[in-house]
Structure 1
């Protein structure tokens, strides 16, 4: 009998991007991801022990007949984000900015955490967050 989840399973986060090559370069250079595999319209990355799949958009298929994949059409409307828990938010901010990350604001101290947000080339939202105390 199969168990879900099972110990040998892994989770992959899929992001729809407008240009796989541009995004691959950004994820490698800015976030330090490593390329595991590349396909014509997709790229599999490894980042902090997790899988990240970058794909171009596409229309419905037999197994998802009413679903269209598309990159964000409005970066100010977000339904998901990826969060990096860091030891020092300001240091991470400086390191990421030096590699080309564009932040919405400098780190903000909210009392219980210090955090800052940035986007990838297609507008997917990322957060760096340091717990305080």
Structure 2
């Protein structure tokens, strides 16, 4: 069997993403390594405090020659439209977590609402990645 240990999100600016994920979301830096031998490629990961077995790579969108210019444009377009994958953050109290994140400067597109599976709210990071803040409840 296996476990998921790392996932990745595309970001326009790694420093801006790092600021958002640590200051606004309260995550911690796991790794921040720049590899000169790989053209100054930066491996930057963060993760939720207390959840040491999971890391999120804040991956800069590779420019040519690594990705063709058309592909870079497609990724940026998908991010701008919110068309990338979604990260789900689970909390015991969606309303309280929402209020805390708003106080830290997170801008929500959707405020907490009761849904069949719990209470749920939505926001995006500065690059356009989608997040769901969810308080899971038993489905009736």
**TM-score (normalised: structure 1):** 0.77
CA 1:22–1:79: 2 relative to 1, 3 Å: closer
Deviation string 1:81-115 (CA, Å, 9 cap, x unpaired) is 01012111111100111111110021111244110
Post-superposition, which runs of at least 4 consecutive aligned residues in structure 1 deviate over 6 A?
none
Give the CA deviation at 1:32: 1.4
Equivalences for 1:85-100 in 2 at 5 Å?
85-100=90-105
Name the CA shift for 1:77/1:122 in 2 (closer, same or farther; >3 Å).
closer
2:89 corresponds in structure 1 to: 84
Aligned-pair distance for 1:129?
Answer: 0.9
Query: Is residue 117–residue 125 contact of structure 1 (8 Å, CA) maintained in 2?
Result: yes
Deviation string 1:8-61 (CA, Å, 9 cap, x unpaired) is: x65211112111011001100111111122224331223233111112111464
Distance 1:101 1:73, change over 3 A: same
Contact 1:16 1:69 in 2 (8 A): no
Q: 1:108·1:114 contact (CA, 8 Å) conserved in 2? A: yes
Q: Could you tell me which runs of 5 or more consecutive residues in structure 2 were left unpaired when the two chains were aligned.
A: 35-39
Cα distance in structure 1, aligned partners of 2:65 and 2:86:
24
The 8 Å contact of residues 44 and 53 in structure 1, kept in 2 or not, is answered as yes
Alignment root-mean-square deviation, CA:
2.6
Per the normalisation by structure 2, the TM-score is: 0.74
Normalized per residue, the structure richer in helix is 2
